[in-house]
Amino acid sequence: LAKAEEIMCKRIKEYWMKRGVIMHLPDTIYIDAYTSFEGECEVGSGCIIKKSVIIESKIKPLSVIEEAIIKNSSVGPMARIRPKSELIDTHIGNFVEVKASKLKGVKAGHLRYLGDSEIDEGTNIGAGTITCNYDGKNKYKTKIGKNVTIDPYVVIGEKVKIQNNVKIFSFSHLKNVKIENNVSVGPYARIRPGTILKSGSRVGNFVEVKKSTIEKNSKVNHLSYIGNASLGKNVNIGAGTITCNYD
> Which residues are annotated as catalytic?
110
- What is d(CA 197, CA 182) in angstroms, rounded to the nearest whole number? 10
Q: Who contacts 101 (Cβ-Cβ below 8 Å, separation ≥6)? A: 84, 85, 86, 114, 115, 116, 117, 118, 119
Q: Is the dihedral of CA 55, 56, 61, 63 positive or negative?
A: negative
- What is d(CA 157, CA 166) in angstroms, rounded to the nearest whole number? 17
Contact 151, 126 (CB under 8 A): yes
Q: Is the dihedral of CA 28, 35, 107, 116 positive or negative?
A: negative
Distances (CA, A) of 102 to 112, 114, 141, 143, 213: 15, 10, 11, 10, 29
DSSP reduced 3-state for 235 = coil
Count the Cβ atoms, other than its own, within 10 Å of residue 210: 17
Distances (CA, A) of 42 to 52, 134, 184: 14, 35, 39
- What is d(CA 208, CA 220) in angstroms, rounded to the nearest whole number? 9
DSSP-derived secondary structure letter, 62: T
